[in-house]
Each structure stands twice: as structure tokens, then as C-alpha cells.
């Protein structure tokens, strides 16, 4: 599943350059100026992705036409419809709403559901011939990661564009540093740290009228069955940068974590991991969600000839890199621009594998912390005999559609080293 650093970075740079250098006039030359788009998921993230999509279309001389706004909850769908002037008749509500979006005439679909749903939804959307933005992380267990990779390969054969919600890949500073590292600016990366230390973004208190399914879906951020824990939901950004700059995935993880402050769901409060990338390269991965603590978010890598701060300062050898032609400095917006342009140019971008592998690396770290075990990347992605290979979280998408969701015990978290069955504990 791993590739050489040079091939990995070159592939990423090529896809970014192809998207960024495509002529805007080529896009505008299309007879159809309206872009038919739908969203699956109308929660908090849609407050960024919907207006950014509208803006991206305008910057390209196009018009966004929202043919469907889908969500499990009517209030969420109606809220976004009213905010962006979409007729409420275009709202689709229910746990099976994604199926109706797949059957719609939307060409582009923004998949903004809780992470547990994304592999299943992506699979159906690709089969339906849709260009897809799927927010990160793209899964919460190893089978989900492999399903995303398989769907991504089918998307390539169909000429579909797949964009992941890893905006650093479309932010100029990160793109330039990736190119400089590839050209030897800091030599070989010897080690580093990646961090996402902040607070709990939000908590929904359970209402009396909510079912177990309602509560899990509305408060999804705080349940590892729904979000992959904050190690996956947030920190995957930083792990993705490490994979990008190093040009490979980590081989293994050991680490620890715990819970002391949170009063909702079953996520940990903090993680500390040793990600072993092979060849003596170790990256320290740390993340926490505790109010009143130091908020460090970013990446640092030490090389044999210099050092780099994520998408910021780089000290090392002067090298020449091509200029990245972007339309906006905001990586979230630029990613959408690249997605639309690549799909309409006939040269579609495809970020399915890279985000699935970064998600799998985060899941590997989660399992290492939850169990106290040494966990290998191959245990999740290549070794069917591993206890982690087919391990699924206890709540699956089909449980919501069948109405058989059972809420996991709240405020009960995995305890490493207790000798219990991992399938029971995670």
C-alpha cells in the first residue's frame, strides 16, 4: 500500500498542478454554465462548503444549482435551504436520503455526513456517476478505509473527480513546501512532530424526544463509533501532511491516551503516539481536546539539511520550484475550484486513496492507544489474519436505515491492557 516518497509527492504535485493550471476559459467554454450540485449532510461543515461552492462557481463564471439538500433531519435541511435560497421542495430527509441523491440529476455531490457513513455513501455515489467531495476522515474503521480505496479506483475508471476535505493539499504554502522538500531543500526527513491541540468543538445534550440514532447522529463528534475519535476527525489533517511530505504511510504505531474531562460520548481527551515511518524516521503525533490548554496545531519536520514548519517557514537549501497558479489563498475554496475544473476538463483529480490511507493511519493510532498494543499499518490494510483487519465499530450505517441502532454506553471508554476482547471494548 506504500509507495516511494518521490512517486508519492510527484503524483500529488502533478494532480495539483494539473488542476491549478487548467484554463478558466476552457471551463467557461462549456455550454452548460449551471453546475448541478447536491449535499448529503446539512450540519455545521455545510456552513463552509455550501457558500464556498457557490463562490467557486462564480469565480469560474459558472452558477451553482442546488438540486438537493439531504439530511437525516428535516430541521437541518430546511435551515440550509432557507439560508441559501433553495426551495424547501428540494430537501430530502431521512436515513436513506443519500440514495435519492444518487438517483438525482446532480453532477457534483458534497458528502458532509458523519464519518461512519462516508464509505457506504461514496460507494453508491460513484456507482451513480457523481463527482464527489468527501469530507475527512473518510471512515472510522479499516474495512471502511479499504472500501473508499476501492470506490476511488472505480471512480478513476469512470472519469469521476474525487476531492477530499484536506485543504492543506490545496494551500499554497503547503504546496510550495512539499515541492521544495521533493527537490531536496531540507534533505531527507529524519523526524518531526504533528499536533492538533485544542478544545471540544461542540456537544449536543440529548433531548427527551431523540432516539438513540438521533442522539448519535446529532452528537456524532463525541462518539468514536461515529467520528473515529478526534485523533481521526481533526488530527488526520496533520497526519496527512506527514504522509505527504514523507511520501509514505507509517509502518506502525504505539501510544497512549485517556479521558479525564469530557462529559459526553466516549472519545478520549488526548492521544500521544509514536508513528514509525521506517528507515529510522519517527514522527511524534499528539492531539487533545481540553479547554484551557495550550492550543498548538501544526507540523514540524527536521531534515538532514534543514527544517520546515508545515506550510510556513522553511530553513535549508535554496531550490527552484514551479509557481503554483491558484485563484484563492484559502485551501478550502481552492480545493473546490480544482475539483470543479478538473471534472469539467476531462482530467479528473482523485484523492480517494491518499485520504483513505491517512485515515487508516489515524485509526491505527487509535487502536494502539485504546489497546496498548503495537499496531501495524498492514494489520489494517493487508493482513486478513490480524484482529484489526475486519474489525468494525459497533454502530454501522445499515443500523440507522433499519432502525436498530443501540446507543453504546456513554462515558465508558476503552481501557488499554485489561486483557479484554478488543471487539468488546472498541
In our burial notation (b when 16+ CB lie closer than 10 A, e otherwise), range 307-328 reads: bbebbeebebeeeebeebebeb
Strands (E), 149-233: 162-164, 189-198
- Grid coordinates representing 128 are 451513480
**φ/ψ bin of 407: left (φ > 0), alpha (ψ from -120 to 50), beta (otherwise):** beta
Strand partners for 108 = 37, 131
Whole-number Å distance between alpha carbons of 30 and 399: 43
- Grid coordinates representing 220 are 456524532
Furthest CA-CA distance within the chain = 63
Q: Is the pTM of this model over 0.85?
A: yes
> Per the CATH hierarchy, to which homologous superfamily does domain 5-169+326-351 belong?
NAD(P)-binding Rossmann-like Domain (3.40.50.720)
Which pLDDT tens digit goes with each residue over 359-418? Answer: 999 999 999 999 999 999 999 999 999 999 999 999 999 999 999 999 999 999 999 986
What's the whole-number average pLDDT of the chain?
A: 92
Which pLDDT tens digit goes with each residue over 258-273? Answer: 999 999 999 999 999 9
Quick check: 31 pLDDT over 70? no
Q: So where are the chain's domains?
A: 5-169+326-351, 176-322+359-402
Grid-cell match 484563492, residue found: 328
Quick check: 45 pLDDT over 50? yes
Quick check: 32 pLDDT over 90? no
CATH (one of 3.40.50.2300, 3.30.70.270, 3.30.360.10, 3.40.50.620) for 176-322+359-402? 3.30.360.10
Amino acid at each position: 500500500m506504500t509507495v516511494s516518497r518521490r512517486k508519492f509527492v510527484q503524483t500529488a504535485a502533478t494532480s495539483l498542478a494539473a488542476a491549478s493550471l487548467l484554463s478558466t476559459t476552457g471551463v467557461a467554454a462549456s455550454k452548460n454554465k449551471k453546475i448541478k450540485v447536491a449535499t448529503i449532510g446539512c450540519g455545521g461543515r455545510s456552513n463552509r462548503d455550501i457558500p464556498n461552492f457557490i463562490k467557486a462557481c462564480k469565480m469560474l463564471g459558472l452558477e451553482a444549482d442546488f438540486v438537493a439538500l439531504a439530511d437525516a433531519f428535516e430541521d437541518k435541511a430546511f435551515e440550509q435551504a432557507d439560508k441559501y435560497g433553495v426551495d424547501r421542495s428540494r430537501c430530502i430527509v431521512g436515513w436513506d436520503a443519500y440514495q435519492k441523491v444518487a438517483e438525482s440529476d446532480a453532477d457534483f455531490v458534497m458528502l458532509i455526513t458523519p464519518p461512519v457513513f462516508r464509505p457506504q455513501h461514496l460507494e453508491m455515489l460513484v456507482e451513480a456517476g457523481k463527482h464527489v467531495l468527501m469530507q475527512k476522515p473518510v471512515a472510522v474503521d479499516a474495512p471502511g478505509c479499504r472500501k473508499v480505496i476501492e470506490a476511488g479506483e472505480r471512480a478513476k475508471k469512470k472519469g469521476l473527480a474525487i476531492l477530499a476535505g484536506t485543504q492543506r493539499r490545496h494551500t499554497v504554502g503547503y504546496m510550495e513546501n512539499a515541492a521544495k522538500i521533493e527537490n531536496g531543500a531540507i534533505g531527507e526527513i529524519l523526524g518531526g512532530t504533528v499536533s492538533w491541540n485544542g478544545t471540544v468543538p461542540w456537544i449536543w445534550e440529548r433531548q427527551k424526544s431523540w432516539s438513540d440514532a438521533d442522539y448519535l447522529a446529532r452528537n456524532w463528534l463525541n462518539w468514536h463509533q461515529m467520528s473515529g475519535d478526534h485523533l481521526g476527525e481533526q488530527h488526520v489533517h496533520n497526519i496527512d501532511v506527514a504522509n505527504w511530505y514523507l511520501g509514505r504511510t507509517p509502518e506502525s504505531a504505539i501510544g497512549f491516551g485517556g479521558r479525564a474531562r469530557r462529559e459526553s460520548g466516549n472519545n478520549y481527551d488526548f492521544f500521544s503516539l509514536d508513528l514509525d515511518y521506517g528507515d529510522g524516521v519517527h514522527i511524534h503525533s499528539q492531539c487533545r481536546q481540553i479547554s484551557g490548554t495550550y492550543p498548538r496545531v501544526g507540523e514540524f519536520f527536521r531534515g538532514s539539511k534543514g527544517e520546515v514548519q508545515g506550510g510556513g517557514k522553511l530553513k535549508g537549501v535554496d531550490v527552484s520550484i514551479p509557481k503554483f497558479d491558484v485563484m484563492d489563498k484559502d485551501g478550502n475554496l481552492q480545493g473546490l475550484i480544482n475539483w470543479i475544473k478538473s471534472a469539467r476538463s476531462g482530467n479528473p483529480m482523485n484523492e480517494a486513496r491518499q485520504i483513505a490511507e491517512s485515515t487508516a493511519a489515524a485509526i491505527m493510532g487509535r487502536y494502539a492507544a485504546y489497546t496498548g498494543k503495537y499496531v501495524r499499518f498492514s494489520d489494517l490494510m493487508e493482513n486478513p489474519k490480524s484482529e484489526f483487519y475486519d474489525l468494525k465499530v459497533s454502530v454501522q450505517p445499515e443500523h440507522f436505515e433499519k432502525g436498530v441502532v443501540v446507543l453504546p454506553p456513554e462515558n465508558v471508554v476503552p481501557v488499554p491492557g485489561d486483557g479484554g476482547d478488543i471487539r468488546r471494548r472498541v
